[in-house]
Amino acid sequence: MRHPLCNLLLGLSLLFAAGELCARPLLLISIDGLRPADVIQAQQRGLNLPNLQAFLSRGSYASDVRGVLPTLTYPSHTTLMTGVSPALHGIASNFTFDPTNTNQQGWYWYASDIRVPTLWDAAHAAKRSTANVHWPVSVGAHIDDNLPQIWRTGSPDDRKLLAALATPGLLPSLEKELGPYADGIAEDLPGDVNRTRFAVKLLETHKPYFMTVYLTALDTEQHASGPDTPPARKTLEGIDALIGQLVAVAQQVHPDGVVAVVSDHGFAPVQQDVNLYRPFIEAGLITLQNGKVTDWKAVPWNDGGSAAIVLRDPADAAVKAKVAELLQQLQADPRYAIAQVLDHDQLVARGGTPQASWFVLFKLGSEMAGSPEVDVDSPSRLRGMHGYDATLPEMRSTFLIAGKDVPAGRNLGSIDMRDIAPTLAALMDVKLPQAQGHALLGKPASP
C-alpha cells in the first residue's frame, strides 16, 4: 500500500524540494553468524546460495561490515536497529550483568532496556505498520504484530510465556492455520523453517510496512561444529531456501519495497576454554561457595571471545590497582591467551559498555570458560565462537540489500555496522536522529 503522502506529493515539485519523500516498505532479515565471503565467494567455496547471491547483482552489498564490541548477537542486533554502539544503546552483552546468577542466566530480552529509539519506534512514530518474528531484544517493543524472542527453561511453559508476551491474540490465530510455533530455545534449522512459515503468513495477511525476521540456525551449527564445516554449509544452504521464500512473498506484497539481509558477526574456530574466573577467585576478588558466587569486588562478564571486567565500586582505588596488576600478569601468561586488554577509556572510545573498567580480548581459538570450576585452560566445549575484537577480519558481518531505489551491482565496500540503520531509515523515510552512522544509498527517488 502506497503511503498517503506519496499521492499528495506527485507533481508538487515544491514539496519535493523541501525534502518530502515517498517511503519504501522494508523487510529486514538477519542470518545470525553469516560471514560476508560465504555469499560473495559462494561458488569458490562450493556453496549453493542462489537466493543470497542474487542480491549481489540485483542490489547493493558490503564487502564486509565492521561490528561493535562485543561481537555478540544481542549488542549487534541492537546496533542494527538503532545505528549506535552499545555504549549508547545499553545492550552490553547477550546476558545481563548478573555475577551471582540471581536472574538465572537471563538475556537482554526486553526492548525497554534499549536507551535510544529503534527502527521499530521510528516506523511507529511515522504511523507505519510493523511486524516482527524472533528478533533479539524485542519483548515489549513498539511493534504492531510482534512474535518476540524469549525462552527460559525449554519447557512447554516457555510457549505460554511467548504467547503472553506476543501481540495479544496473534500467536493463537496463526497457530490455528500453521500448527505450533517453534519454542524460543529451538534455534536449529527446523526452528528457522517453522518461524519462516509464520513470517510468510504475516507478510501475506498483515502486509506490514516494516518487518524484521531473525534466523538462528547458522549460528547454532557454527558453534556446534565450527564455521565452514559440512554441517554449517548444509545449514546455510537450507537458510538460503528460506530467504527465497521470504523475498518472493515480500515482492508480491510490496512490489515497490526493499529487502535487506544482515548478520551480526562473523565466526572463528575455537579449541580452548580459558577460565578467567579462577585468578579472580584466588586473588580474593570473587567469593565462591558450593560453585556459586556469593560475593565479589571485581568479576569477568563473559562475552565468548572477550570478557568485560566490572568493579563493584569503580572508585575503590585499592581494588582497581589490584585488578590492574592482575590483568597485567594474566596477559603475560600464555595459558590465558589474552591478545589485548582495553582500559575503560579505550573501551568507551570503541563503543563498548562504560559499565566495565577493562575489556579483555582473547586470541582467536580461545574463549571464556562458562564455569569458574574448570581448569585454567581446557578443551573448548564448542567448535566455533565470536565475541572477539571487532577489527579482526574473522568477525566481519554481512549486508545485502535490493529493491526499489537500490543501485544494482554496487559494492559498498567495507562499512560500519552503525551505517545500516540510517540507511534503512532513509529508504523508509523515517527519523533516526541519534544514529552515529550515515545513510549509504542516498535519498530515495520519487515514484
The answer to which of 13-17, 288-292, 408-412 has the lowest mean pLDDT is: 13-17
Residue 2 has pLDDT above 90, yes or no: no
pLDDT in tens, 160-189: 999 999 999 999 999 999 999 999 899 999
**64 within 8 A of 297, measured Cβ to Cβ:** no
Binning pLDDT at 50, 70 and 90, where does residue 446 land? Answer: very low
**What residues are paired with 31 via a beta bridge?**
215
pLDDT on residue 156: 83
C-alpha cell at 395: 568477525
Mean of the per-residue pLDDT values of the chain: 93
C-alpha cell at 443: 535519498
C-alpha cell at 232: 554449517
pLDDT on residue 194: 98
pLDDT in tens, 362-400: 999 999 998 888 888 899 989 999 999 999 999 999 999
Binning pLDDT at 50, 70 and 90, where does residue 13 land? Answer: very low
C-alpha cell at 240: 538460503
For 377, the 3-state DSSP assignment is: strand
As a whole number, mean pLDDT of residues 68-95 equals 98
**366 within 8 A of 271, measured Cβ to Cβ:** yes
Per-residue three-class SS string for 144-163? CEEECCCCCCCCCHHHHHHH
pLDDT in tens, 200-224: 999 999 999 999 999 999 999 999 9
pLDDT in tens, 35-79: 999 999 999 999 999 999 999 999 999 999 999 999 999 999 999
Residue 283 has pLDDT above 80, yes or no: yes
pLDDT on residue 7: 41
H-only helix segments in 90-188 = 119-125, 157-165, 170-178
- The amino acid at 414: S
pLDDT on residue 221: 98
pLDDT on residue 442: 63
For 445, the 3-state DSSP assignment is: coil
pLDDT on residue 237: 98
The answer to which of 5-9, 28-32, 65-69, 138-142 has the lowest mean pLDDT is: 5-9
Residue 84 has pLDDT above 80, yes or no: yes
What phi and psi values does residue 273 have, to the nearest 5 degrees?
-95, 135
**400 within 8 A of 284, measured Cβ to Cβ:** no
pLDDT on residue 373: 82
CA distances from 174 to 22, 167, 169, 224 (A): 32, 12, 9, 32
**221 within 8 A of 267, measured Cβ to Cβ:** no
The answer to which of 4-8, 165-169, 322-326 has the lowest mean pLDDT is: 4-8
Residue 144: CB atoms within 10 A of its CB come to 19
| Nearest of 349, 350, 347, 365 to residue 301 by alpha carbon | 347
pLDDT on residue 204: 98
Which H helix or E strand runs over 379?
A: strand 377-379
Residue 179: CB atoms within 10 A of its CB come to 10
166-175: long-range pairs with CB below 8 Å, 24+? 167/143, 170/145, 170/146, 171/147, 174/198, 174/201, 174/202
Residue 14: CB atoms within 10 A of its CB come to 8
Q: Structural domains in the chain?
A: 4-268+393-428 (3.40.720.10), 272-381 (3.30.1360)
Q: What angle do CA 278, 270, 333 make, to 5 degrees?
A: 40
pLDDT on residue 445: 42
Residue 404 has pLDDT above 80, yes or no: yes
pLDDT on residue 10: 36
Residues 6 or more apart whose CB falls under 8 angstroms from that of 279 comprise 326, 329, 330, 376
> What is residue 278's DSSP assignment?
H
For 173, the 3-state DSSP assignment is: helix
pLDDT in tens, 326-354: 999 999 999 999 999 999 999 999 999 99
The answer to which of 1-15, 70-84, 344-358 has the lowest mean pLDDT is: 1-15
Q: What angle do CA 338, 341, 347 make, to 5 degrees?
A: 140
As a whole number, mean pLDDT of residues 150-165 equals 91
CA–CA separation, 436 and 241 (whole Å): 34
% of the chain at pLDDT higher than 90: 87
Residue 14 has pLDDT above 50, yes or no: no
Write the DSSP string, 18-86: TT------EEEEEETT--HHHHHTTTTTT---HHHHHHHHHSEE-SEEE--SS--HHHHHHHHHHSS-H
